């Protein structure tokens, strides 16, 4: 019978290579996964790892943004190289160790990568790259410099080696090759980009190659502390005795079943911020304008109730909301409006739909985000059904709204969006839960921060968005070029985001001969 194949961790592969190859150590592969049958073995010396390489592109959409919209440069130096056509990077001459006792690896590589743009004024470099693993988890560590500010030896990316391709016998000379290791941005990595990427952002997968070598001479060890004595187990609490039945003459009347909301919903709201990093990017040099009763709140925007059908028992909802939010960033040619938002859900799955308007026109009822309602309840409380902080991810149709003809969309399907909160009331005057405090902009029925819908001559000059250049109209937006004042350009932190939201140029139309 063929053996069932399972993912092999880096530690397991190294241990197996040693056991099969060479007489240096005889640690079985099972030990790398915590096996060994409880038999204590003498501590083995660390094993040298040599001739290593790390192939990793950081984030493909960021590379495209740097060389595209930002008109910048990418430089690999000091032992790092970049593949043709703006491909991934290879960090070379990896050297490190494998610890048979803890099954941990630590490998350092030569080379650095630098991303610069004079137009968008940023300078980001990644150097002193290391890969550290233990079992099925690991991290890419690096020194990251952002416009002269250095963060040394931070965990930049989290690695999941359980999903990597097996490395045994994958390379020349007994090299272990681990292909396409999934990588996500850490909290410290997000700070390296000034928070414009969120923790958990999907990065390019990494491919790690290492070759086991000779044992590393042991250093003098410090005596270990004596093991702590196990604490005495607490005596289990005696089981609770069941309450005696009440006398029939004093029995309480049966409780009424929990009420469900009738079909007639009379009030409600939708709270959503689209994507926090996108809002931060827009705030660097543009603005978000609410209208039609939508309001700005601390977590994004609140859209007023329009109509809804709700069946709590069947866990079904089809709700529509009024108002709109419009994102404009003239210097970068961005003009997008989201309106007529809808939430349609059955059970644990749902969809957020929206009308998306750009100067190219309006796409109606775009299935913009997929919703995960597995963690919420459809049951009403105080006459209100509250679907709070529903996780949302970008759909393929949503990603297309950010695409341009040159670089496509900077966002990928599955991108994490801000959570969605829906409140629906079956009773007039019922108190609706609030998802965030209002900022004072955009009162009900008003047009938000821009008055009648224009940005005002004091903000954008005669070529302002609004007036004759309305969203969905035929007038072209100003092109971004070297003539744009530096004060209107995105700061370094915002530029880092532009690998995602900053490359949103679906709303762009060129004027004259100047191109982005």
Alpha carbons 141 and 328: distance in angstroms, whole number: 37
What pLDDT shows up at residue 415? 93
What pLDDT was estimated at residue 435? Answer: 59
In degrees, to the nearest 5, what angle opens at C-alpha 471 toward C-alphas 465 and 477?
50
Q: Which of 408, 411, 306, 406 is nearest to 368 (CA)?
A: 411
Question: What is the Cα–Cα distance from 276 to 215, expressed in whole angstroms?
Answer: 49
Q: What is the sign of the dihedral through the CA atoms of 148, 79, 97 and 27?
A: positive
Overall average pLDDT of the 113-136 stretch: 90
Quote the percentage of the chain above a pLDDT of 70: 63
DSSP 3-state assignment of 224? coil
100 confidence band (pLDDT: 50, 70, 90):
confident
Assigned token pair, 232: 């005495």
> pLDDT, tens digit, for every residue of 401-411?
988 776 778 88
Position with higher pLDDT, 324 vs 260: 324
CA-based nearest residue to 164, from 176, 140, 186, 182: 182
Q: How far is 375 from 345, CA to CA, in rounded Å?
A: 13
Q: How far apart are CA 407 and CA 405, in angstroms?
A: 6
Residue 319 CB coordination number (10 Å)? 24
Quickly tell me which residue has 């150590």 as its tokens.
Answer: 25
Tens-place pLDDT, residues 393-430: 999 999 999 887 767 788 899 999 999 999 999 887 77
Q: Which residues contact 251 (CB under 8 A, 6 or more apart)?
A: none
Burial class (CB in 10 A: 0-12, 13-18, 19+), 394: buried
Higher pLDDT, 432 or 394: 394
Residue, of 306 and 259, whose pLDDT is higher: 306
Number of Cβ atoms within 10 Å of the Cβ of 104: 17
Rounded to the nearest angstrom, the gap between the alpha carbon of residue 367 and the centroid of all alpha carbons in its chain is 20
Q: What is the per-residue pLDDT for 43?
A: 59
Instruction: Give the model's pLDDT for residue 455.
Output: 35
State how beta strands 361-372 and 384-394 pair: antiparallel
Contact 500, 197 (CB under 8 A): yes
Is the CB of residue 506 less than 8 Å from the CB of residue 336? yes
Write the pLDDT tens digit of every residue in 295-352. 999 999 999 999 999 999 999 999 999 999 999 998 888 899 999 999 999 999 999 9
Which residue would you say has higher pLDDT here, 276 or 249?
276
pLDDT tens string 359-381: 888 999 999 999 999 999 999 99
pLDDT at 467 over 50: no
Mean pLDDT for the stretch of residues 286-302: 94
Greater pLDDT, 377 or 478: 377
- Which residues does residue 357 pair with via DSSP β-bridges, in sequence order? 337, 362
Number of other residues whose CB lies within 10 A of the CB of residue 28: 17
Tokens 């003009």 correspond to: 335
Q: Is the pLDDT score of 38 beyond 80?
A: no
Rounded CA-CA distance 273/158 in Å is 26
Per-residue pLDDT at 430:
79
Please compute the mean of the pLDDT values over residues 214-242 and round it to a whole number: 59
Q: Highest mean pLDDT: which of 377-386, 442-451, 491-500?
A: 377-386
Q: Which of 13-17, 257-261, 469-473 has the lowest mean pLDDT?
A: 469-473
> Is the pLDDT higher at 259 or at 199?
199
3-class secondary-structure state, position 16: helix
Q: What is the mean pLDDT of residues 56-74?
A: 91
Asked if residue 357 has pLDDT above 60, the reply is: yes
As a whole number, the mean pLDDT across the chain is 74
What percent of the residues of the chain are helix, what percent strand, and what percent coil, each to the nearest 5?
15, 40, 45
**What is the C-alpha to C-alpha distance for residues 289 and 283, in angstroms, rounded to an integer?**
11
Mean local confidence (pLDDT), 76-80: 94
Coil/strand/helix, residue 132: strand
Q: What is the pLDDT of residues 131-177, one digit of tens each?
A: 999 888 899 999 998 888 888 999 999 999 887 765 545 556 678 88
Q: Would you call 494 helix, strand, or coil by DSSP?
A: helix
């Amino acid at each position: 019978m063929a053996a069932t194949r399972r993912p092999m961790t880096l530690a397991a592969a190294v241990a197996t290579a040693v056991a099969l190859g060479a007489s240096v150590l005889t640690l079985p592969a099972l030990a790398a996964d915590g096996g060994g049958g409880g038999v204590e073995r003498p501590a083995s010396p660390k094993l040298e790892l040599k001739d290593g390489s790390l192939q990793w592109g950081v984030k493909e959409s960021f590379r495209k943004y740097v060389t595209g919209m930002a008109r910048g440069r990418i430089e690999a130096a000091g032992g790092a190289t970049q593949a043709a056509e703006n491909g991934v990077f290879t960090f070379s001459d990896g050297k490190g160790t494998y610890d048979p006792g803890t099954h941990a690896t630590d490998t350092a590589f030569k080379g650095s990568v630098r991303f610069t743009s004079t137009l968008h004024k940023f300078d980001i470099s990644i150097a002193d790259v290391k890969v550290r693993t233990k079992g099925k988890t690991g991290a890419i560590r690096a020194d990251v410099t952002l416009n002269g500010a250095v963060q040394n030896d931070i965990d930049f990316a989290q690695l999941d080696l359980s999903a990597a391709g097996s490395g045994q016998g994958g390379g020349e000379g007994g090299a272990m090759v681990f292909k396409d290791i999934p990588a996500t941005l850490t909290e410290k990595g997000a700070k390296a980009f000034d928070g414009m990427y969120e923790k958990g952002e999907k990065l390019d997968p990494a491919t790690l190659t290492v070759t086991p070598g000779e044992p590393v001479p042991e250093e003098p060890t410090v005596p270990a502390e004596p093991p702590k004595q196990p604490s005495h187990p607490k005596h289990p609490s005696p089981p609770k005795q069941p309450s005696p039945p009440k006398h029939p003459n004093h029995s309480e009347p049966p409780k009424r079943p929990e009420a469900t909301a009738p079909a007639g919903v009379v009030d409600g709201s939708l709270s959503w911020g689209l994507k926090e990093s996108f809002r931060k990017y827009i705030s660097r040099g543009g603005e978000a304008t609410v209208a039609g009763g939508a309001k700005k709140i601390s977590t994004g925007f609140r859209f007023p109730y329009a109509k809804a059908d709700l069946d709590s028992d069947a866990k079904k909802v089809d709700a529509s909301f009024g108002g709109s939010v419009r994102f404009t960033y003239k210097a970068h040619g961005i003009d997008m409006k989201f309106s007529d938002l809808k939430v349609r859900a059955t059970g644990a799955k749902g969809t957020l739909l929206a009308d998306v308007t750009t100067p190219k026109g309006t796409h109606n009822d775009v299935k913009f985000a997929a919703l995960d309602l597995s963690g919420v309840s459809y049951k009403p409380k105080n006459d209100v059904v509250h679907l709070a902080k529903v996780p949302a991810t970008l759909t393929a149709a949503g990603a297309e709204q950010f695409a341009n003809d040159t670089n496509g969309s900077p966002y990928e399907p599955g991108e994490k969006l801000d959570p969605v909160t829906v409140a629906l009331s079956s009773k007039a005057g019922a108190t609706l839960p609030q998802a965030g405090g209002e900022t004072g902009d955009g009162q009900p029925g008003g047009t938000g921060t821009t008055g009648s819908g224009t940005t005002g001559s004091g903000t954008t000059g005669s070529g302002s968005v609004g007036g004759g250049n309305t969203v969905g109209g035929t007038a072209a937006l100003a092109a971004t070029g070297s003539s744009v004042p530096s004060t209107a350009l995105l700061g370094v932190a915002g530029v880092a985001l532009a690998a995602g939201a900053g490359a949103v140029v679906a709303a762009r139309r060129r004027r004259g001969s100047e191109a982005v």
